[in-house]
Amino acid sequence: MSIPLQAGLVYGPVKSRRLGVSLGVNLAPDARKVCTFNCAYCQYGWTPPDPLGASVVDENWPTPDSIAEAVDQALARTSGIDRITLAGNGEPTLHPDFHDIVERLRLVRNRRARYARLAILSNASTLADASVAAALMRLDERYMKLDAGDDVTLRKLNGCGMGIEAIVEGLRRLPDVTLQALFTRDAQGKIDNTTEAAIGAWLTAVVRIRPTAVHVYTIDRDPAWKELQKVPREELQQIAAKVKQAGIRAVVF
C-alpha cells in the first residue's frame, strides 16, 4: 500500500539520512495529490486524472497566511530542526502563490529557527515559470528530481508529458542544485531506468546541468505500480561512480 496523503499543512519532523531532521510543509489543497508528474514509484499512489486543470484555480489552496502560521506554530513547539522542507502531496511549486509563500517562510524561519535550512523537493517541471524560478532561488537548498535523460524513460517512469530538454534547460539555469535520482525497474523491463542506454542519457543530462551534488537512491516505500523493484546498492554505487568520474559529487542513499 502507498502511504496516506499528508492531512495537514505541516508534518513531521521526519528524520531521514538525506535531509536530517526535517519539518515537512504540504502546499497541496484538501489532502489531494496535485502533481505534474505521475511517477510509477510514487509513494502517494497514482496522480488523479487532470489534477492541474481543476486545481490551479481551486479556491481551496491553502493561503500563504495559513501556511506561514502553521509553520510558525510548529517551530514554536519544536527544536533541533535541520530543515524546513517544501514537499507534501505532489509538486509544491504548483501553488499559485508559491513565491509569496517562500518569502513568508523565510521570515518565519528567520524569526523562529535561524539555524534551519529552507529546502524544497521538486520535480523540476515548472522552471519555465519565471516567478517559480525566482522563488526557488530564495530557498537555501533545491533538491530537484531527475530520473531520466531521455523522453521515453521520462514518460514511462515519471508519467511526464514534457520533453526532457525543457527540464534539463530549466535545471541548467538554476544555481546550486542537488539532483535527486531514483533508479528502479520491473522484472519485464517495461519500466527500467537502469539500462546502459537510460543511464548514458541520464549521465549526459547530469553533466549538462552541472549540479552541486547528485543523490542516488532506489524505492524505499511501496510504489504506485507494485511491479517495481529495488535496485541493489552495489548497482547504485556503480551509477554514482560514473557521476563522480565526471567530476560531480554523488552520494548513494
Question: Which spans of this chain sit near ligand SF4 (rule: CB under 6 A)?
Answer: 35, 37-39, 42, 44, 47, 90-91, 123, 145
Question: For residues 86 and 92, is the Cβ–Cβ distance under 8 A?
Answer: yes
Q: Closer to ligand SF4 at the Cβ: 20 or 45? A: 45
Q: 3-state SS of 64-97? A: HHHHHHHHHHHHHCCCCCCEEEEECCECHHHCCC
Q: Closer to ligand SF4 at the Cβ: 47 or 126? A: 47
Q: Closer to ligand SF4 at the Cβ: 121 or 206? A: 121
Measured from the CB of residue 9, what is the shortest distance to ligand SF4 in angstroms? 17
Q: Closer to ligand SF4 at the Cβ: 75 or 127? A: 127
Measured from the CB of residue 39, what is the shortest distance to ligand SF4 in angstroms? 3
Q: Closer to ligand SF4 at the Cβ: 22 or 123? A: 123
Measured from the CB of residue 42, what is the shortest distance to ligand SF4 in angstroms? 3
Measured from the CB of residue 104, what is the shortest distance to ligand SF4 in angstroms? 23
Measured from the CB of residue 107, what is the shortest distance to ligand SF4 in angstroms? 27
